[in-house]
């Protein structure tokens, strides 16, 4: 909201005398002291006089030259933004809107606190003031506040928490001379205007020696007075200027600070007190009115020379609880005057309306609910009768008959209304998001991350999101640059899938990737020690992570490499760092179908770089060991495992084959067998008890023999029934109950011990044998670890959690087919000497030709896939007669998948089903080592799949019974019906269907104008009519018409058909037989 300065000046000339209900005198009052006719200047106290209706002589009210009136107003923040609680500063500050001063002053506010960063005022500690910034920004803001009303006071507040860049004043940081330098220069600028109050320092905290700090305050007081200033000074205490701690901590020492002016009337104590649960000013709800605390403070001040204090920071959220409690607090401030001079609520200025404690007016001129309550409380302060009287010169009782008053009212004061929703779910959500905008009490020590959503895995980002997140990590500001447009040319080959590479491009890409694979690294955690502060460590980790991101960006932008989507969230990488630091043996789990895709070679090198028992710098490297666990090995044949074993042996990689699915199935079968055995024992016991009961009866031997035989038969039948329901561990056709492929162990390779698929006990024993000696690890207490910690890391969906469940023997970790189920590292005690540590799945950066490979490998979620043509085409192989889209169309038609509202086959849905079957190994394809061809590697797998398909149930050849009139008999080889001549129409239909190059699922246009064309295209010019829609030359009548049109002739009118009205549709009355 901007105001016309000329108009306001004209208005001040019109009203040379104070109008009805306006102030006309008081301490430090510099405005008009006479009232208009019909009113009289009534004195309420020494600090406030007002023009009230009545008769009598209007005389100037007394205006004492000393002492402060009741003060009430608001903090206008902006120049203090980016000041950390350690006194460091990394920003430029934001100018508060000047219109706010007039807005609040018109409602009765007479105090504005304007904080600033020390580094903005003096870029060098102890150096001169930055005159450019001071003149163009800060002083402009101060003068705007002072000009909002003649009785306005401004607190100039140094907002650095008694520190400069982490160092405490006079206690290892800036000297007292450097501290006093900024106030000496400000005293020279504002010393002539006593309406400017000097707030020496905002919220000193964690000061080692309070007495030394009080000496620094005394030093500043002397320096300001030596500069000739007589301004009021606010003396800060300790513990964040807490009003509660003041009487017992800094108060007894601050009362001894003297003023060279001769008395202490211009030395005011600066205290803060918020109303939320922890007195931090970060929560929207209020829990106390602070009356007890302020009562103790008032008693202390009165008993120590009737000293004064000001509540320069207080407030709460715009909630019902705060409206009531803040009103109670300010009412107490009123009754405690002059001991409590007044208050300044936090905060308006550059804060937006989503900030938790915002008092910033809305765009339409209305105020927040809490400020509305504060206005009335402040009005009560200005009147001895307790009535809320507006000071607004545009109020209805101000010269109501004046047109100028109405004009001022229409320009300056939009109609205000109470917020209809001061509290609720929406505001709670907004306050939660803005809770970190200002933190008054930051200790730097934490044990729990309150933001659980920060662990969300992020593998792909839009360009704008990536830019904003990078700027947030770096902690820097940015400026948008417009008109910076890059034109990306479309691919020249329209028949090439834009999501796949050609053969030549793929060969070139693979060669470049092989030459630069050493540049792909896992982000390292920078060296750290236990004496580092949390903020320092956090900044160091973010800087290292940004440097890693910068290196990958150079690979993509400068060298034109395509990287797979990799993890971009630093919080997820921190989970990996913690797992590596606490693990002694790091097991990298990969999928047996494509081990090289899931293996990160640099991770094995990083394991050797982690230092000591806890990762602390200087504790020694190279103590941890790595193991490559090839999971899902049951999907490989013995020959395939042997080829991979040879490959890893050549490269000295320690590996092992394992199948979490097989281990779990065996455990389930054993549990069922044990349950069946217990059931048989119970039944046998029951039979024996029945036999003993019958033994007491007189039964013939022949009858007894017959009953025993019957019992044995029943027992055999039950046992056979149990065996039928018991799952078998292997299947002759190599397939389990769920249709998952299970290869058959055959050939001489099956006896090779290297390729043995380990059982659970063998895998546990391998962990123990592969781990380093625990005596080489020593923790911070000097003790050797008592348990071996095995860390499990790898890509999402490779089976880390399933492996843990198989080892434990029961479900301990949540398992899901969706990649990234595990969100936080977790430890499971497998035995008294072994602990498993499960790390969230991480997508490591890898070179790739396309993103389709990651979808096929199960790394990227299939349900979130939008582009399906590349994943369904990447493994097509064969001769190319049946393409990927053809398979999707046929599958969708067979399954009845159709798009809603169109009736076309839904290829996207079909693609999801097929890709899930591929990921779940129902459609099995295994990638070979680099030196082996795909066909040779998968030959045995395909033969097994073909043998599995023999004898499978097929779909019926007909859907109607033989008695139906629409029944068509099945034709087999040798059947005379198969050689019968078909009609010309049927032959043409068959020829068109089977001779078409590709299957099409697009709808055809109906009617004579559409001519059955597959899609609509322009035919405005003659050359566009020379070929058909599929590009083939026209024939027959259409060709002749095209030739005439090309020659510029007209087409003669066609044959006249004289068609009559069509008859209604006739039905034969026949239908399908039941």
Nearest to 683 by CA among 715, 708, 705, 706: 715
Q: How many CB atoms lie within 10 A of CB 249?
A: 16
Strand partners, 153: 111
Region of poorest pLDDT, from 164-168, 304-308, 995-999: 995-999
Mean model confidence pLDDT for the chain: 74
As a whole number of angstroms, the distance between CA 1072 and CA 1074 comes to: 6
> What band does 248 get if pLDDT is binned at 50, 70 and 90?
very high
> Is residue 722 pLDDT above 80, yes or no?
no
- Rounded to 5°, the CA angle 1025-1027-1031 comes to 140
Which pLDDT does position 479 carry in this prediction?
Answer: 57
The pLDDT of residue 972: 47
Q: Does the pLDDT of residue 310 top 60, yes or no?
A: yes
Written as six digits, the tokens of 841 are: 């799945």
- List, by residue number, the catalytic residues: 203, 313
At residue 133, the pLDDT reads: 92
Architecture label for domain 852-949 = Orthogonal Bundle (1.10)
d(CA 238, CA 255): 14
Closest CA to 423 of 314, 330, 286: 286
Name the residue among 813, 790, 755 with its Cα closest to residue 627.
790
Q: What is the pLDDT of residue 222?
A: 95
The conformation of residue 1007, written as its DSSP 8-state character, comes to S
**Token output for 996:** 């078409």
Cα end-to-end span (Å), the chain: 81
Q: Which residue has the higher pLDDT, 940 or 709?
A: 940
The residue written with tokens 């150079």 in the block is: 554
Q: What is the 3-state secondary structure (H, E, C) of 639-683?
A: HHHHHHHHHHHHCCCCEEEECHHHHHHHHHHHHHHHHHHHHHHHH
Compute how many other C-beta atoms are within 10 angstroms of the C-beta atom of residue 448: 5
**Does 115 have pLDDT greater than 90?**
yes
Task: Answer yes or no: is pLDDT of 17 > 60.
Answer: yes
Coil, helix or strand for 904?
coil
Q: What is the CATH number of domain 72-93+111-394?
A: 3.20.20.80
Is the pLDDT score of 923 beyond 90? no
Residues 6+ apart with CB under 8 A from 825: 575, 578, 579, 837, 838, 839, 840
Three-state SS for 829? strand
* 1007-1042 tens-digit pLDDT: 545 455 555 566 666 666 777 766 677 777 777 777
Long-range contacts of 46-55 (CB under 8 A, 24+ apart): 48/23, 48/382, 48/383, 49/23, 49/24, 49/25, 50/21, 50/22, 50/23, 50/24, 50/383, 50/389, 51/18, 51/19, 51/20, 51/21, 51/22, 51/23, 51/24, 52/20, 52/21, 53/20
Q: Which of 118, 100, 142 is nearest to 347 (CA)?
A: 100
Q: How far apart are CA 788 and CA 838, in angstroms?
A: 14
| Contact status, residue 270 vs residue 309, Cβ threshold 8 Å | yes
Tens-digit pLDDT profile for residues 823-879: 677 888 888 888 888 888 887 877 766 667 777 777 677 776 666 665 656 554 555
Asked if residues 824 and 455 have their Cβ atoms less than 8 Å apart, the reply is: yes
pLDDT digits (tens, 9 = 90+) for 658-688: 988 776 666 666 667 777 777 777 777 777 7
3-state SS, 82-144, equals CECCCCCECCCCCCCCCHHHHHHHHCCCCEEEEEECHHHHCCCCCCCCCHHHHHHHHHHHHHH
Q: How many C-beta atoms surround the C-beta of residue 800 within 10 A?
A: 29
Helices 291-303 and 320-335 meet at what angle, rounded to 10? 20
Domain boundaries of the chain, sorted by first residue: 72-93+111-394, 525-561, 852-949, 1017-1045
Q: How many whole angstroms separate alpha carbon 245 and alpha carbon 127? A: 33
Instruction: Output the pLDDT for position 862.
Output: 77
Instruction: Mention every residue, 6+ apart, whose C-beta is less than 8 A from residue 905.
Output: 888, 889, 892, 893, 897, 898, 899, 1001
Instruction: List the beta bridge partners of residue 743.
Output: none
Helix H or strand E segment including 515: helix 503-515
CA distances from 623 to 94, 526, 599, 619 (A): 51, 18, 21, 10
Q: In sequence order, what are the residues at sequence separation of 6 or more whose Cβ sits closer than 8 angstroms to the Cβ of residue 923?
A: 914, 917
Give, in order, the Cα–Cα distances in Å from 405 to each of 11, 391, 399, 464. 9, 14, 6, 50
Taking residues 559-577, report their average pLDDT: 80
Instruction: Centre a 10 Å sphere on the Cβ of residue 553 and count the other Cβ atoms it contains.
Output: 13
Quote the CA–CA distance of 214 and 222 in Å, as a whole number.
13
Per residue in 145-166, pLDDT (tens digit) is 999 888 899 999 999 999 999 9
pLDDT in tens, 626-644: 999 998 888 888 888 999 9
């Amino acid at each position: 909201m901007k105001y016309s300065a000329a108009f306001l000046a004209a208005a001040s000339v019109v009203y040379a005398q104070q109008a009805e209900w306006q102030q006309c005198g008081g301490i430090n009052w510099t405005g008009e002291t006479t009232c208009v006719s019909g009113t009289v200047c009534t004195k309420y106290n020494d600090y406030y006089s007002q023009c009230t209706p009545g008769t009598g002589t209007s005389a100037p009210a007394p205006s004492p030259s000393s002492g402060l009136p009741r003060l009430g107003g608001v903090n206008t923040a902006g120049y203090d933004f980016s000041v950390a609680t350690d006194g460091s500063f990394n920003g430029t500050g934001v100018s508060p809107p000047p219109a706010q001063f007039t807005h609040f002053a018109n409602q009765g506010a007479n105090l504005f606190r304007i904080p600033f960063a020390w580094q903005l005022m003096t870029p060098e500690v102890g150096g001169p003031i930055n005159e450019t910034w001071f003149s163009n920004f800060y002083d402009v803001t101060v003068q705007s506040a002072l000009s909002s009303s003649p009785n306005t006071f401004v607190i100039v507040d140094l907002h650095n928490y008694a520190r400069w860049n982490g160092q405490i004043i006079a206690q290892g940081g800036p000297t007292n001379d450097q501290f006093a330098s900024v106030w000496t220069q400000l005293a020279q600028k504002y010393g002539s205007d006593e309406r400017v109050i000097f707030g020496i320092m905002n919220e000193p905290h964690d000061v080692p020696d309070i007495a030394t700090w009080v000496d620094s305050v005394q030093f500043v007081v002397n320096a300001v007075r030596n500069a000739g200033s007589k301004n009021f000074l606010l003396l800060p205490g300790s513990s964040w200027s807490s009003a509660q701690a003041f009487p017992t901590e800094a108060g007894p020492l601050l009362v001894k600070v003297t003023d060279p002016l001769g008395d202490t009337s211009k030395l005011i104590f600066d205290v803060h007190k918020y109303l939320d649960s922890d007195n931090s000013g970060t929560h929207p709800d209020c829990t106390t009115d602070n009356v007890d605390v302020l009562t103790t403070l008032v008693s202390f001040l009165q008993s120590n020379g009737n000293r004064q204090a000001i509540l320069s920071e207080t407030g709460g959220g715009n909630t019902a609880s705060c409206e009531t409690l803040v009103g109670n607090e300010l009412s107490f401030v009123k009754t405690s005057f002059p001991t409590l001079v007044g208050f300044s609520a936090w905060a308006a200025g550059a804060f937006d309306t989503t900030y938790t404690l915002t008092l910033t007016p809305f765009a339409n001129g209305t105020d927040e609910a809490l400020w509305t309550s504060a206005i009335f409380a402040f009005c009560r302060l200005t009147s001895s009768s307790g009535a809320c009287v507006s000071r607004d010169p545009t109020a209805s009782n101000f010269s109501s008959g004046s047109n100028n008053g109405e004009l001022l009212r229409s320009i300056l004061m939009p109609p205000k209304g109470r917020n209809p929703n001061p509290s609720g779910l929406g505001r709670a959500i907004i306050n939660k998001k803005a809770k970190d905008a200002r933190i008054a009490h930051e200790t730097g020590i934490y044990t729990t991350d309150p933001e659980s959503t920060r662990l969300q895995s992020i593998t792909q980002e839009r360009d704008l999101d990536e830019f904003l997140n990078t700027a947030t990590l770096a902690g820097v500001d940015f400026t948008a640059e417009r008109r910076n447009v890059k034109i990306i040319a479309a691919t020249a080959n329209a028949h090439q899938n834009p999501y796949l590479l050609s053969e030549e491009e793929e060969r070139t890409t693979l060669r470049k990737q092989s030459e630069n694979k050493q540049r792909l690294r896992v982000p390292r955690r920078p060296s750290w020690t236990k004496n580092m502060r949390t903020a320092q460590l956090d900044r160091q980790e973010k800087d290292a992570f940004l440097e890693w991101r910068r290196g990958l960006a150079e690979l993509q932008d400068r060298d034109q490499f395509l990287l797979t989507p990799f993890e971009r969230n630093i919080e997820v990488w921190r989970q990996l760092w913690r797992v590596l630091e606490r693990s002694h043996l790091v097991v990298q789990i990969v999928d047996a179908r494509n081990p090289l895709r899931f293996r990160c070679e640099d991770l094995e090198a990083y394991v050797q770089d982690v230092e000591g028992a806890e990762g602390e710098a200087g504790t020694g490297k190279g103590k941890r060991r790595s193991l490559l666990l090839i999971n899902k090995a049951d999907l490989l044949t013995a020959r395939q495992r042997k080829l991979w074993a040879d490959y890893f042996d050549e490269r000295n990689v320690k590996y092992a084959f394992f199948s979490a699915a097989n281990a779990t199935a065996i455990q389930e079968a054993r549990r069922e067998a044990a349950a069946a055995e217990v059931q048989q024992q119970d039944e046998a016991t029951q039979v024996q008890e029945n036999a003993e009961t019958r033994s007491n009866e007189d039964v013939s031997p022949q009858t007894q023999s017959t009953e025993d035989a019957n019992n044995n038969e029943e027992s055999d039948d039950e046992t056979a029934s149990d065996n039928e329901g018991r799952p078998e561990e292997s299947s002759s056709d190599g397939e389990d109950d769920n249709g998952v492929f299970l290869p058959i162990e055959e050939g001489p390779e099956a006896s090779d011990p290297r390729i043995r698929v380990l059982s659970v006990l063998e895998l546990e024993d391998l962990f123990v044998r592969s781990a380093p000696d625990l005596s080489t690890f020593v923790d911070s207490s000097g003790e050797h670890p008592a348990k071996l910690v095995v860390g499990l890391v790898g890509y999402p969906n490779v089976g880390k959690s399933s492996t843990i469940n198989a080892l434990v023997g029961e479900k301990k970790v949540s398992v899901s087919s969706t990649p990234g189920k595990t969100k936080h590292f977790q430890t499971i005690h497998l035995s008294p000497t072994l602990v498993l540590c499960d790390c969230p799945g991480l997508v490591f950066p890898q070179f790739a030709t396309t993103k389709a490979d990651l979808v096929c490998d199960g790394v990227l979620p299939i349900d979130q896939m939008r582009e399906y043509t590349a994943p369904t085409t990447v493994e097509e192989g064969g001769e190319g007669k049946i393409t990927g889209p053809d398979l999707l169309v046929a599958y969708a038609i067979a399954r009845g998948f159709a798009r809603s509202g169109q009736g076309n086959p839904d290829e996207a849905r079909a693609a999801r089903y097929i890709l899930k079957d591929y990921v779940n190994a129902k459609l099995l394809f295994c990638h070979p080592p680099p030196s082996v061809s795909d066909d040779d590697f998968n030959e045995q797998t395909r033969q097994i799949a073909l043998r599995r398909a023999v004898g499978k149930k097929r779909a019926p050849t007909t859907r109607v019974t033989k008695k139906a009139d629409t029944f068509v008999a099945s034709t087999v080889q040798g059947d005379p019906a198969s050689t019968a001549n078909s009609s010309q129409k049927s032959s043409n239909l068959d020829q068109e269907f089977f001779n078409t190059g590709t299957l099409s699922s697009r709808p055809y246009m109906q009617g004579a104008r559409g001519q059955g064309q597959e899609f609509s295209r322009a035919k405005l010019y003659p050359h566009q009519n020379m070929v058909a829609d599929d590009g083939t030359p026209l024939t027959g009548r259409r060709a002749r018409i095209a030739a005439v049109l090309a020659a510029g002739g007209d087409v003669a009118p066609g044959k006249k058909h004289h068609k009559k009205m069509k008859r209604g549709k006739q039905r034969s009355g026949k239908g399908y037989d039941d």
